[in-house]
Structure 1
Amino acid sequence: MFYSIKQSSRLWTFLVFAIFACLAALPAHAHVGSPDVYAEGNAGPYKLFVTVRPPLVIPGVAEIEVRADAAPSASGIEITPIPLTGEASKHPPVADVMKQSAQDKQFFTGTLWIMAPGSWQVRFLVHGSQGDGVLSIPLPATARGTLGMQTNLGIILAVLGAFLILGIVGIVGAAVQDAQLAPGTEASKAARMRAAVAMGVAFVIIAGMVVFGYIWWNNDAQQYSANVYKPLNMRAKLTADHRLKLNLADPGWLKARRLDDFVLDHNHLMHLYMIREPNLDVVFHLHPDQIAPGEFEMPLPSVLAGQYRLYADVVHANGFPETLVASLTLPAINGVPLTGDNSAGTVPPIALSSSSACVAPTGKPRFQFPDGYSMMWDNPEPQPAKTPELYQFSLFAPDGKPASDTGLYMDMLGHAAFVKTDGTVFAHVHPSGTVAMAALMMAEAQNQSPKQQQSKPGMDTSGMNMQGMDMSGIEHSGHQPNVVGFPYGFPTPGQYRIFVQMKHGQTVETAAFDACAKPAKVQ
């Protein structure tokens, strides 16, 4: 009987280990492979650089970092998680106080529980030498995977569980066999048989409980996995008359998600980056028109033949952004001229490196355009993955002086796309950060009256077309700075290409800079 119990305990150990087996996380988010939120904005007189690392699972804890400018100085920051839209957005919970660094008084850290998937905002209330200021940063919250248990910990718990079950069975046997015996009396053969039967019954009952627990756990895990974020599917097709057709389909995630509730972001329902692979040497920034719910279409401009990866940004009415991905092989096309906000760029092929080491470029890389203008990357030093950084670029005129005719391109001083060479990372970034501008304006509208709303330098909000927001009186023209910065952090180590777009006069320039992210710092 003891041998059978021992054998059964091995089965129990296997079951426990299977229960705690790790499940792979799914790489899906509003930005492909880049879930962290980086943003720069003003909370009244205080300028903040915000990093929000959303939880992998929902409910879960978001990690938040804030770097405040030294002047004027911030003495304290409170943070609050609030739904971006709906009645709950009007009733915020009690704020949490961020921890101020003892070594760096302008660096703050904090955590917030995010209790449900959907479109959230983190509201920052800043206290300082010039009173209080408020800033809200949108946070798309999704369950992106499941948290697995470490293998070593699973083995330890399985072994401890095996000892526990053997102990329970042994206690039952001892209770039946020896509990009523007088001291010094040996158990009879009948008593030993009753104990063996009792131990067998106890083992069967406990094993049944383990199996039942495994089934319950597995069913619960499957139900949770069904709620893991699944982006909208996008299928790309080229028609005989060289029109690009995009069909969106919902694979099933949240029941409330729709295909007919997209809102204008920079005057467009969709922003489409089309990048030729594997050399990343051709890039288009296009804006297909919606012709029906879930259907977008546009005539293509002239295109070089090749395999293209398509990244399409859309924003739902509740402020939730999504980036949809598709691939399409295109022949050489003699298409329509680029008009409106559509733009394109042809750049040298990326030099793929077989080495994992990051080497800083010599000096500051400069990209030369055919019309004599050039763009410089001002801070090209390699950064570790998941490190917040303001990537800064400058536009120069043909005479080498800072461009004096810089203008706004789709309401912004610049647009950037951070693309990993293997296609696993794509992020469309603005001077305000990785957040969708439509969602950012929804959040900011709740903090200030329309007359108090002000744009970030280098940003024109007239093209956002957000209901209920008064954009009158905002400066739309005139001289703009020739320098633009993009808050971002590379999510994983490896090679990246940064496409940067700035405008001078009526010309949109597209430059490409190659970057390398080092392994993340060990905390």
Structure 2
Amino acid sequence: MKIFSIKTILLVVLSWGIVFGALSHVGSSGVLFQGQAGAYRVLVNLQPPDVIPGTAQITVYVETGNVKRVHARPIYFRTGAEGAPSSDEILPTPHHAGQFQGIVWLMASGASSVQITLEGDEGIQQLVVPIVAISTAKRDMPAGLGMLLSLLGILLVVILVTAIGASASDGLLRAGNQLTPQQRKTRWLHMGIATVSCLAILYGGSSWWNSWSDDYRQYMYKPLEGKSSVINQNNERVFQLKIDTLSLLQSRQRRTSLSFLVPDHGKLMHLFLVRQHTLDAFAHLHPERRDTTTFEAYLPKLPAGKYLVYADIVQRSGFTETITDTVDIPAFYGKGQLKTDPEDTYVVSDPLNRPKQIPMDENVVICGKPGSKTKLQDGSTVVWEGKSDMAFEAGKPYQLAFEVFDPNGNPALLEPYLGMNGHAAIVRADGSVYIHLHPVGTYSMAAQQTMQTRIADTTRIYRLQNDTKAFRDSIDRYLAHLKTLAPTERDQLLMSSMNSNISHDMKEMKHENRIVFPYAFPKAGQYRIFLQIKRNGQVLTGIFDANVNSTSL
């Protein structure tokens, strides 16, 4: 397993905001990209800035090929490549061959990307890493800086008042003369006027500052909110998610319109349900849109309990979001055989920290750990490469590698699943971290494709279509067309719509039994990994636990 290892003063004082690199995650900032750029295979770790404008930290690991120079520049959806700034050089890291580190300025919030150019023995190649950069928090000014600025302000006021008083008295005296009583009165009068004026200016400045600070709060990112419930529909449990649009109306920063959602991996929404605290029941569903704000899906035979809800959507600009909630699922009733989507899946397993306490269910899988062999629903097995006692370190990028074997112990043939060789969902024990992973990284395929299309467009300022009905109808027709295709045809269509390098990667990996996901656990704690692959037309889910320690200094 591999381990990879001039902002204005006003902005510094106003806020030290937190920015999420990809908001279709919860608790995982930054973006990991792994893939091919021509003959070069690279891993890119992109950490967004704390505030916008700000600098994103970029680390490029060259896995294959001799790369000599690396450049990076931001490309925003609105202005495209034609309106993008020039590139900044990403410099080689001393004593680390094939590693480059540097920064790139992000001057606009929202959906954007970083275009990375690689120069080496195999020529010049480019890749695009999508990123969502949004300020999500406001921090107070550090106490030491506030005290220093206050003392400097008092000193400047004293100097200014004294200078004004002197200019109206001492500055008018001839050499050797003394101030008259009238001149002393004049000096104190002018100093008084200057003091009142300075206080008025300070009060006005303070009011302006507080107003700007309050205005800044209106532009901070606030996640979409949704209300989940389970309804009885013809004696079947149906999950329903209603997205709250009130926050969209109140936010001055947001430009979200739920009528302009685009599918990711052929699905308008990816919904993950995980039983809270124990993480022993898991479902990956694809609800259908009933109206602009309502999505519904038939529930499989999940056991009763309170579940964490993570619902991923993508806007047409490539802006990705995850709607979070909890929902109480009642005890099973009905037949539980109806599926909203053929690729809807679920499994149950042993509870967290209570191994081998397995419920009775036809979709049971035993939770594994690094180095152990875990059996899947069809009798095949999957091995997570690594040592059984391995403890990961927060903040370090890892290659999470899995090998799949058929029931006879031979390397298994993996089939494309939603256009990829596999998917993974990672959830922290307390639910504070969630991410939907792919072998190519932690970003959305739809977001990258959107940015690739925008870069190819030479329009300097992009004007978005505002006809909600026409846009929704076109998306609905596309989704309906996908449903008419056989799984093989659908996966081929989804892969062909991806970036050419990623599509090439998927085709090359199709005949392998090994699948690798790049990921950096954001903080210490217990995590559960839900690995999803496809064999013989069946979606299989393997479950693994990981212990993550705090970052070492």
The reply to whether TM is greater than 0.5 is yes
Q: Which residue of 1 aligns with 2:194?
A: 202
> AA paired with 1:430?
H
SS state of the match for residue 98, structure 1? strand
Q: Which moved more, 1:492-501 or 1:365-374?
A: 365-374
Name stretches of at least 5 consecutive residues in structure 2 with no aligned partner.
Answer: 1-11, 355-367, 458-489
1:410 to 414, 418, 426: 418
Instruction: Confirm or deny that 1:247 pairs with 2:256.
Output: no
> AA paired with 2:111?
S
Q: Which residue of 2 aligns with 1:124?
A: 116
Instruction: Confirm or deny that 1:164 pairs with 2:153.
Output: no
* Cα distance in structure 2, aligned partners of 1:362 and 1:385: 17
Deviation at 1:478, TM superposition (A): 10
> AA paired with 1:425?
V
1:362-388 Cα offsets, whole Å, 9 max, x none, are: 962443445543322213643432222
Task: Note if contact 1:273-1:284 (Cα within 8 Å) is conserved in structure 2.
Answer: yes
Task: Note if contact 1:41-1:135 (Cα within 8 Å) is conserved in structure 2.
Answer: no
Change (3 A) 1:412 1:509: same
Q: Which residue of 1 aligns with 2:461?
A: none
Instruction: Confirm or deny that 1:507 pairs with 2:538.
Output: yes
1:342 to 341, 344, 353: 344
Deviation at 1:25, TM superposition (A): 4.8
Name stretches of at least 5 consecutive residues in structure 1 with no aligned partner.
Answer: 1-18, 353-360, 450-458
Q: Which residue of 1 aligns with 2:229?
A: 237
1:82 to 70, 75, 82: 75
2:400 to 380, 391, 413: 391
Task: Note if contact 1:347-1:511 (Cα within 8 Å) is conserved in structure 2.
Answer: no
Q: Which residue of 2 aligns with 1:498?
A: 529
SS state of the match for residue 110, structure 1? strand
1:315-352 Cα offsets, whole Å, 9 max, x none, are: 11122211111111111123522561111121222239
* Cα distance in structure 1, aligned partners of 2:238 and 2:127: 42
Q: Which residue of 2 aligns with 1:266?
A: 265
Change (3 A) 1:109 1:476: closer
Deviation at 1:35, TM superposition (A): 2.3
SS state of the match for residue 261, structure 2? coil
SS state of the match for residue 406, structure 1? coil
Q: Which moved more, 1:305-314 or 1:51-60?
A: 51-60
> AA paired with 2:269?
M
1:386-442 Cα offsets, whole Å, 9 max, x none, are: 22222112223344x354233222222221112122222211010011111112233
SS state of the match for residue 52, structure 2? coil
Q: Which moved more, 1:258-267 or 1:280-289?
A: 258-267
Change (3 A) 1:147 1:220: same
Change (3 A) 1:382 1:448: farther
Task: Note if contact 2:19-2:133 (Cα within 8 Å) is conserved in structure 1.
Answer: no
1:68-95 Cα offsets, whole Å, 9 max, x none, are: 11x32111122221124x5634554322
> AA paired with 2:404?
L
* Cα distance in structure 2, aligned partners of 1:501 and 1:378: 16
Q: Which moved more, 1:245-254 or 1:227-236?
A: 245-254
SS state of the match for residue 156, structure 2? helix
2:103 to 104, 111, 128: 111
Q: Which moved more, 1:36-45 or 1:402-411?
A: 402-411
1:93-142 Cα offsets, whole Å, 9 max, x none, are: 32222111232231112222222222212112211111122211111222
Task: Note if contact 2:18-2:135 (Cα within 8 Å) is conserved in structure 1.
Answer: no
Q: Which residue of 2 aligns with 1:72?
A: 65
Q: Which residue of 2 aligns with 1:332?
A: 331
Instruction: Confirm or deny that 1:440 pairs with 2:448.
Output: yes
Q: Percent same amino acid at aligned positions?
A: 30
1:252-277 Cα offsets, whole Å, 9 max, x none, are: 34454211111121221000001110
Deviation at 1:45, TM superposition (A): 0.7
SS state of the match for residue 80, structure 1? strand
Change (3 A) 1:363 1:63: closer
SS state of the match for residue 418, structure 1? strand
Q: Which residue of 1 aligns with 2:364?
A: none
Task: Note if contact 2:19-2:51 (Cα within 8 Å) is conserved in structure 1.
Answer: no
Q: Which residue of 1 aligns with 2:429?
A: 421
Q: Which residue of 2 aligns with 1:11?
A: none
* Cα distance in structure 1, aligned partners of 2:537 and 2:329: 28
Deviation at 1:166, TM superposition (A): 2.5
Change (3 A) 1:426 1:468: closer
> AA paired with 1:245?
Q
Q: Which residue of 1 aligns with 2:25?
A: 31
SS state of the match for residue 407, structure 1? coil
Change (3 A) 1:219 1:212: same
Task: Note if contact 1:420-1:497 (Cα within 8 Å) is conserved in structure 2.
Answer: yes
Change (3 A) 1:437 1:24: closer
* Cα distance in structure 2, aligned partners of 1:494 and 1:163: 50
Question: Superposed, which structure 2 residues align to 1:437-476 within 5 Å?
Answer: 437-444=445-452, 462-463=493-494, 466=497
* Cα distance in structure 2, aligned partners of 1:472 and 1:489: 24
Deviation at 1:38, TM superposition (A): 0.6
Q: Which residue of 2 aligns with 1:315?
A: 314
Change (3 A) 1:20 1:518: same
> AA paired with 1:329?
D
Q: Which moved more, 1:239-248 or 1:306-315?
A: 239-248
* Cα distance in structure 2, aligned partners of 1:243 and 1:304: 14
TM-score by length of 1: 0.83
Deviation at 1:23, TM superposition (A): 7.1
SS state of the match for residue 219, structure 1? helix
Q: Which moved more, 1:477-486 or 1:301-310?
A: 477-486
* Cα distance in structure 1, aligned partners of 2:59 and 2:24: 20
Change (3 A) 1:159 1:520: farther
* Cα distance in structure 2, aligned partners of 1:497 and 1:504: 22
Change (3 A) 1:479 1:146: closer
Q: Which residue of 2 aligns with 1:140?
A: 132
Q: Which moved more, 1:151-160 or 1:270-279?
A: 151-160
Change (3 A) 1:509 1:362: closer
Change (3 A) 1:143 1:479: closer
> AA paired with 1:169?
V
Q: Which residue of 2 aligns with 1:453?
A: none
Q: Which moved more, 1:437-446 or 1:28-37?
A: 437-446
SS state of the match for residue 260, structure 1? helix
Deviation at 1:61, TM superposition (A): 1.6
Change (3 A) 1:477 1:432: closer
Q: Which residue of 2 aligns with 1:7?
A: none
* Cα distance in structure 1, aligned partners of 2:394 and 2:180: 70
Task: Note if contact 2:420-2:506 (Cα within 8 Å) is conserved in structure 1.
Answer: no
TM-score by length of 2: 0.79
* Cα distance in structure 2, aligned partners of 1:362 and 1:65: 29
Task: Note if contact 2:110-2:132 (Cα within 8 Å) is conserved in structure 1.
Answer: yes
Q: Which residue of 2 aligns with 1:374?
A: 381
Deviation at 1:475, TM superposition (A): 8.4
* Cα distance in structure 1, aligned partners of 2:38 and 2:507: 22
Task: Note if contact 2:132-2:320 (Cα within 8 Å) is conserved in structure 1.
Answer: yes
Task: Note if contact 2:417-2:491 (Cα within 8 Å) is conserved in structure 1.
Answer: no
